[in-house]
Amino acid sequence: MTRRRQIYEGKAKILYEGPEPGTIIQYFKDDATAFNAEKKGTINGKGVINNRISEHVFTRLAQIGIPTHFIRRLNMREQLVRQVEIIPIEVVVRNVAAGSICKRLGLEEGVQLPHTLIEYYFKDDALGDPLVSEEHIACFNWASPEEMQDMASMAIRINDFMAGMFAGIDIRLVDFKLEFGRIFDGDYSRVILADEISPDGCRLWDIKSGEKLDKDRFRRDLGGEEEAYQEVARRLGLLNGEDNGPGEVLDMDAHRGRMRGKSPKPTK
Ligand code: TMP
Ligand code: ASP
């Protein structure tokens, strides 16, 4: 059996060559980083949960007509996706003031914004992903005006859908980050949603208590990050056999039992 080729290792995922041309396997790690990888750690079981949450969200988004890279989940930590050329822009959608916007503009965390804000960050770790304007994006040709239009309109539709989905399980969707990629068809290219949507890249607060159910638990040393990620999966109906679709049941206790004593490295 040949070992598959690793294409890229990021902070939270590893990408491998897929079984067919134009496909990629995304392997979800338990590694967590914050503040541009100044802070590093692990959240046990995070990769398994994010794989499942992202599958769920991307599948639901496809059902409302958002084109995505997701093809299917392969196993507990891996999913098959379409290969794209990642657009080097992180699209952040904010409904409520939190995180960097509070620091930058002196806002109080938790204040509802007058309307939904879209921000763009240039994806460059060495520069610490700086906030940029549409003018910068056009000037340096990181994305075309048509691509910007497509990303913005998809971001708004995704926000409307996800805000409703999370409100239905008593979670306030504070903000989140999206990444998009290009797929090519002859001389033409189009933009589809890529990367992942999980508590790593969203702020999710319990509607009643305000409790944080996302990576801010890790970023801010609040503790309980494993439980928070599991709680999001549980409320989405993804734990213990509900709405599991193809593949195995996401039973974290059984998974821990199987993983005990084994290397967490992907095998093939
Ligand atoms: P921020 O408040 O730090 O700018 O983050 C806004 C949202 O985007 C938050 O939900 C976390 C997410 N995010 C990422 O997923 N990756 C990143 O590199 C950054 C800066 C933010
Ligand atoms: N910026 C990412 C986050 O905090 C991770 C990192 O910067 O290392 O979500």
Give residue 262's pLDDT band: very low, low, confident or very high (50, 70, 90).
Answer: very low
Q: Which has the higher per-residue pLDDT, 4 or 144?
A: 144
pLDDT at 173 over 80: yes
Q: What is the mean pLDDT of the chain?
A: 92
Atom of ligand 2 nearest to the CA of 201: 9
For atom 5 of ligand 2, which residue has the closest CA?
Answer: 34
Give the pair of three-digit tokens for residue 219: 């970023």
pLDDT digits (tens, 9 = 90+) for 85-122: 999 999 999 999 999 999 999 999 999 999 999 999 99
Domain 85-206 bears CATH identifier 3.40.50.300: no
Residue 3 — very low, low, confident or very high, per pLDDT cuts 50/70/90?
Answer: confident
- Residue range 7-24, pLDDT digits in tens: 999 999 999 999 999 999
Pocket flag, ligand 2, residue 127 (CB < 6 Å) = no
Tell me, what's the pLDDT at 249? 46
Per-residue pLDDT, 264: 41
Domain boundaries, the chain: 6-83+228-259, 85-206
CA atoms within 13 A on the CB side of 107: 15
Crossing angle of helices 46-63 and 225-235, rounded to 10°: 30
Find where tokens 């503790």 sit: 223
* Closest ligand 2 atom number to CA of residue 125: 7
6-83+228-259 against 85-206: fold identical? no
**CB atoms inside a 10 Å sphere around CB 30:** 18
Residue 159 CB partners (closer than 8 Å, separation 6+): 93, 95, 116, 173, 176
In testing the pocket of ligand 2, which one of 9, 11, 40 has its CB within 8 Å of the most ligand atoms? 11
Q: pLDDT band for 241, please (50, 70, 90 cuts).
A: low
Looking at CATH, the fold of the domain delimited by 6-83+228-259 is given as Phosphorylase Kinase; domain 1 (3.30.200)
Mean pLDDT, residues 159-176 taken together: 98
pLDDT value at position 265? 42
The fraction of the chain above a pLDDT of 70, given in percent, is 89
pLDDT in tens, 26-52: 999 999 999 999 999 999 999 999 999
Ligand 2 in reach of 177 Cβ (< 6 A): no
Ligand 1: nearest atom to the Cα of 214: 10
Does ligand 2 have an atom closer than 6 angstroms to the CB of 82?
no
